[in-house]
Amino acid sequence: MTPIMIGDTDILGVVDVQPTFMPGGELPVAGGDAVVPVINRLLAGPFRHAFATQDWHPPGHISFASAHGRAPFTEITLPYGPQTLWPDHALQGSPNAALHPGLDQARIETIVRKGFHPAIDSYSTFFENDHATTTGLDGWLRNRGFRRLFLAGLATDFCVAWSAEDAARLGYETYVIEDACRGIGLPTPDGRTTMDAARERLRAAGVRVISTADLG
């Protein structure tokens, strides 16, 4: 494959690189901390523009299993659809909800917080989980003239995948940089995992899954 050359209408989206999603955090993703140096190299090299997303929940958030007296990693149905329940995580203002202190923020031009509405979760950085409430990021990207979106961060099968699907639907040429991401991998009812399901949905949405080695 010829290397993908990065220019001024390309932007790197750094998804939920927060200690709450790393070993020792409240909702740890296996190897989640390993994305930090990989993303820092992307930010020091090819990408001149980046944005970051930050999961940012109030206490008692509707995505918390504890708010429903249920076990984490089970699923319930909410007015906007199915919702996986999680351990309490990404609590607004807590140290583990900050962007990881080792992340190089020099080229991060805006930070999109999501999941702050008490009664709705937001995996995607474009739309909350009702697929209708916007975060405003699409307007920001369009106004700045960005055409191609490259996503990295946590978790591959939730916030990265949902963001990538929405980006493709909104008309951006969308890439997921797989070795700059780590996933959660919950079992699905059909005996697969959320990683398999996400990969299939990304392919169907026309998202290109690449690795850092593909970048020129």
- Does the annotation count 179 as an active-site position? no
Which alpha helices (DSSP H) does 72-173 contain, by range?
A: 137-144, 161-169
- Whole-angstrom distance, CA of residue 134 vs CA of residue 124: 10
Positions touching Zn ion (CB under 5 A) are 55, 115
Binding residues with ligand VGL: total (CB under 6 A): 9
Neighbours of 1 (CB within 10 A): 6
Phi, psi (rounded to 5 degrees) for 103: -75, 130
Residue 86 interacting with ligand VGL (CB under 6 A): yes
154 in contact with ligand VGL (CB under 6 A) = yes
Dmax over Cα atoms in the chain, in whole Å? 52
The answer to whether the beta carbons of residues 57 and 16 sit under 8 Å apart is: no
Least distance from C-beta 16 to Zn ion, angstroms? 8
Q: Which of 6, 10, 14, 16 is close enough to bind ligand VGL by CB under 6 A?
A: 16
Task: Examine the residue annotation and report whether 114 is marked as an active-site residue of this protein.
Answer: yes
Q: Which residue among 10, 88, 121, 159 is the active-site one?
A: 159
Interacting residues of 134 by C-beta distance below 8 A, sequence separation 6+:
126, 127
Chosen from ligand VGL, Zn ion, none, partner binding at 155 (C-beta under 5 to 8 Å by type): ligand VGL
Among 13, 21, 97, 175, binds ligand VGL (CB under 6 A): 21
Q: Which of 47, 51, 158, 175 is close enough to bind ligand VGL by CB under 6 A?
A: 158
Tell me how far apart the alpha carbons of residues 90 and 114 are, in angstroms, rounded to a whole number.
Answer: 10
* Interface positions with ligand VGL (CB under 6 A): 16, 21, 55, 86, 123, 154-155, 158-159
